Homo-oligomer: A and B are copies of this chain.
């Protein structure tokens, strides 16, 4: 395997799949003693340009974020369209789905990871940046999300 592929070792997010984002958000908020954050939908496919396994997908998720020290905990409730979120939730049930890293040069990082046997699974755009889920389950036993922000 190539060495130091991402150029960072700072975990920015832990993503957790849930069936009911409102119930689980309230549980985390109570447990942490904070206000329940508002969840929001990811963008529609025309904006997000979502691709899952190389195919355009209308999949969306409800997202809610919690600040947990230096990283964010992200709750994800997917809709029923094909996505890494929906398929992983169906297969594994609720629980951790990925850890995320902020990178520079998304295209190059994806290319190096694919060359090293860690294929792109899903990608999309959000306001101010883009994400890519890389299938690192064989090597690292958890999926990795790459995040690239425009500034």
Contacts and interface: CB of A to CB of B under 8 A. Distances in A.
Contact of A27 (B9, B96, B140): B140
A21 to B, nearest CB: 11
Given A32-B9, A33-B3, A92-B92, A70 B67 contact: no
A142 B31 CA distance: 13
Contacts of A141: 16-18, 24, 94-95
Nearest to A33: B4
Given A32-B4, A142-B96, A70 B71 contact: yes
Given A9-B68, A31-B139, 16 more contacts: A1-B30, A3-B30, A3-B33, A4-B32, A6-B32, A9-B34, A9-B66, A11-B71, A14-B96, A18-B141, A24-B140, A28-B140, A70-B70, A92-B92, A94-B137, A95-B142
